[in-house]
């Protein structure tokens, strides 16, 4: 019988850093609220959550890496909103942000979660930040708890 290795959803004792972009703060604050609320629902204590604001999504990876390298966090969540209608360099910001965030996880071994919302316009963004299409910040928090717990379970055998 194969052994399934799973990450349970027990967030008690987990320490989580959240890096959030100030660009499009109207949207990203909702992502942050969703993430913090969901972490709490899974048992992560407020005092075990660190929140760092950065200017925009482009800056998420470097600060996420700095936080991950401290070894003080079991997971790092990156939150941002890149809206196509608002920027000519949408593809560059979105691409650098997602690629950088993926690299942080691979380079540090600390699960680094992609909670950057990409949307064609502000309406779509609002829908995905606590509106009718859910909250990408909450989804990121779920991924953070599960992946951190899975990695713990792999390491402890």
Minimum distance of ligand INI from residue 47's CB (angstroms): 28
Between strands 129-131 and 75-83, the pairing is unpaired
* Active-site residue (options: 13, 55, 85, 89): 89
Task: Tell me, letter by letter, the H, E, C secondary structure of the chain.
Answer: CCCCCCCCCCCCCCCEEEEEECCCHHHHHHHHHHHHHHHHHCCCCHHHEEEEEECCHHHHHHHHHHHHHCCCCCEEEEEEEEEHHHCCCHHHHHHHHHHHHHHHHHHHCCCEEEEEEEECCHHHHHHCEEECCEEHHHHHHHHHHHHHHHHHHHHHC
Question: CB 66 → ligand INI: shortest distance, Å?
Answer: 16
Site size toward ligand INI, by CB under 6 A: 16
Q: Smallest gap, in angstroms, from Cβ of residue 116 to ligand INI?
A: 8
Q: Which of residues 45-74 bind ligand INI (CB under 6 A)?
A: 55-59
Residue 94: CB minimum distance to ligand INI, A: 8
User: Is 126 a binder of ligand INI (CB under 6 A)?
Assistant: no
Residue 89 annotated among the catalytic residues of the structure: yes
| Residue in the shown chain whose Cβ atom is closest to ligand INI | 56
**Residues 72-111, mask of contacts with ligand INI (x by CB under 6 A):** --------xxxx--xx-x---x------------------
Q: Could you tell me which of 153, 125, 144, 112 has the C-alpha nearest to residue 42?
A: 144
Residue number, 36 or 54, with CB nearest to ligand INI = 54
Give the residue numbers annotated as catalytic, written as ranges. 89
Q: Which residues bind ligand INI (CB under 6 A)?
A: 21, 23-24, 55-59, 80-83, 86-87, 89, 93
């Amino acid at each position: 019988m194969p052994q399934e290795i799973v990450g349970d959803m027990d967030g008690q004792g987990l320490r989580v850093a959240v890096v959030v972009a100030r660009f499009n703060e109207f949207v990203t604050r909702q992502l942050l609220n969703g993430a913090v609320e969901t972490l709490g629902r899974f048992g992560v204590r407020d005092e075990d959550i660190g929140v760092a604001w950065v200017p925009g999504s482009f800056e998420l990876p470097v600060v996420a890496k700095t936080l991950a390298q401290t070894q003080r966090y079991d997971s790092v969540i990156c939150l941002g909103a890149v809206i196509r209608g608002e920027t000519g360099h949408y593809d560059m910001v979105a691409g650098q942000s997602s690629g950088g965030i993926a690299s942080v996880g691979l380079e540090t071994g600390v699960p680094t979660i992609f909670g950057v919302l990409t949307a064609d316009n502000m309406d779509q963004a609002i829908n995905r930040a606590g509106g009718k299409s859910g909250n990408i910040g909450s989804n990121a928090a779920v991924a953070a708890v599960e992946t951190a717990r899975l990695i713990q379970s792999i390491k402890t055998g």
